[in-house]
């Protein structure tokens, strides 16, 4: 089970959600019990009845930046930049930032691309596999320039002939998003509403917010057949002393830590010491979680359905078991669940004995 081919399943193209539902918490929820090897079809709002004072929800409060920029080449053809900033570059008006560009053959070292009268980028390196580095120049911090001139970086499997719309700026964002820095949403959190969060709090469910800025490490494809040969791109996280204290206190009290999203799993497990105690502070993670991983912090997981042959599918298989995850994905496809970023969710209630 150390081959990427072992993490594949068939998904009809019509199963991929192209737009969010009218209401966030209208999503379906596949409740997956790895211990019993069973699942149940429910609604996302049913979490109120499944979670209680014995649980601590851990949320990722990162905010998606409108990181997709469009310039025009010499022949009038559009050139797309996906900006991949580090957190410390967001307030810099002239940072040197890694980017993905398309079409890469139109981008060369030394060329300057203009996005507006006061915002441009000079290419510093010839693209390698679509990746380059560019020196941005503007009169305001990068975060402000992107907010005015960038588009929501929807995943490529969401196909919109006219591109992202204004509604995506709000819906491809969790209601608790706070810290700008991600180029993709922590999609498990998209289902929560303020009312649902309040109902969970009223039911005694604990909550801690951490930050992991989603970058290439989360969604880069696996290009090696052996999983052990895949190298994760570094992503940056930050865990406040208050959040670390809440998580450690919950574990000491015997409560169950429920991660909302795979990004939370990677941040918590990267910040944990040998005993499972979470350290506060900033950090970076290149952790690739796959079957055989020893979870030290996370007991359960709320997550969306993931692409076949992906690191995220390997991660959820590490928690729930590969065979059960693949069977659950096939069931969800047959039962009409909506897949991927704007799709439905599943709740993995515990750890498999794998």
Looking at residue 75, its pLDDT comes to 67
The arrangement of strands across the sheet holding 96-102 comes to 68-72, 78-84, 96-102, 131-138, 119-123, 112-116
DSSP secondary structure of 120-156: EEEE-S--BTTEEEEEEEESS-HHHHHHHH-B----T
Bridge partners, 56 (sequence order)? 206, 257
DSSP secondary structure of 197-240: HHHHHHTT-EEEEEEE---HHHHPPP-SSBGGG--PPPEEEEE-
Bridge partners, 64 (sequence order)? 182
Residue 6 contacts residue 322 (beta carbons within 8 Å): yes
| CATH homologous superfamily for the domain 4-64+171-348 | QueA-like (3.40.1780.10)
Tokens of 38: 């069973």
Domain boundaries for CATH 2.40.10.240 within the chain: 68-142
Bridge partners, 281 (sequence order)? 239
Identify which of 167, 163, 255, 162 has the alpha carbon closest to the alpha carbon of residue 206: 255
CA distances from 96 to 68, 122, 124, 136, 334 (A): 16, 9, 9, 6, 46
28/293 Cα distance (integer angstroms): 29
246/240 Cα distance (integer angstroms): 10
214/82 Cα distance (integer angstroms): 13
- pLDDT, one tens digit for every residue, the chain (354 residues): 689 999 999 999 899 999 999 999 999 999 999 999 999 999 999 999 999 999 999 999 999 999 999 997 666 778 999 999 999 999 999 999 999 999 999 899 999 999 999 999 999 999 999 999 999 999 999 999 999 999 999 999 999 888 898 899 999 999 999 999 999 999 999 999 999 999 999 999 999 999 999 998 787 889 999 999 999 999 999 999 999 999 999 999 999 999 999 999 999 999 999 999 999 999 999 999 999 999 999 999 999 999 999 999 999 999 999 999 999 999 999 999 999 999 999 999 999 865
Q: For the domain covering 68-142, report its CATH number.
A: 2.40.10.240
Domain boundaries for CATH 3.40.1780.10 within the chain: 4-64+171-348
Identify which of 295, 286, 140 has the alpha carbon closest to the alpha carbon of residue 212: 286
């Amino acid at each position: 089970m150390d081959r990427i081919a072992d993490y594949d399943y068939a998904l009809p193209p019509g199963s991929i959600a192209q737009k969010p539902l009218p209401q966030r918490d209208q999503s379906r929820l596949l409740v997956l019990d790895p211990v019993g090897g069973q699942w149940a079809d429910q609604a996302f709002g049913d979490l109120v009845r499944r979670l209680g004072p014995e649980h601590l929800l851990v949320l990722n409060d990162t905010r998606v930046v409108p990181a997709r920029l469009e310039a025009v080449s010499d022949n009038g053809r559009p050139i797309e930049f996906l900006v991949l900033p580090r957190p410390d570059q967001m307030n810099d008006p002239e940072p040197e930032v890694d980017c993905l560009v398309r079409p890469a053959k139109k981008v060369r070292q030394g060329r300057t691309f203009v996005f507006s009268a006061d915002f441009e980028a000079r290419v510093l390196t010839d693209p390698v596999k679509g990746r380059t580095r560019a020196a941005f120049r503007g009169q305001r911090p990068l975060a402000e320039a992107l907010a005015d001139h960038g588009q929501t970086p929807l995943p490529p499997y969401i196909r919109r002939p006219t591109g992202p719309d204004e509604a995506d700026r709000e819906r491809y964002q969790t209601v608790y998003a706070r810290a700008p820095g991600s180029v993709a949403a922590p999609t498990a959190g998209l289902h929560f509403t303020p009312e649902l969060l309040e109902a969970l709090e009223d039911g005694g469910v604990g909550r801690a917010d951490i930050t992991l800025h989603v970058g290439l490490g989360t969604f880069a494809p696996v290009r090696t057949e052996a999983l052990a040969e895949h190298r994760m791109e570094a992503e940056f996280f930050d865990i406040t002393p208050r959040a670390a204290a809440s998580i450690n206190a919950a574990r000491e009290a015997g409560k169950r830590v429920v991660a909302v999203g795979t990004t939370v799993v990677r941040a918590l497990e990267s910040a944990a010491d040998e005993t499972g105690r979470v350290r506060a502070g900033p950090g970076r993670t290149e952790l690739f979680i796959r079957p055989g991983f020893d979870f030290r912090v996370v007991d359960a997981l709320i997550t969306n359905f993931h692409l076949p042959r992906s690191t995220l599918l390997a991660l959820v298989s590490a928690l729930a078991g590969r065979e059960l995850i693949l069977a659950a994905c096939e069931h969800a496809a047959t039962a009409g669940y909506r897949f991927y970023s704007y799709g439905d969710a599943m709740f993995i209630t515990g750890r498999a004995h794998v």
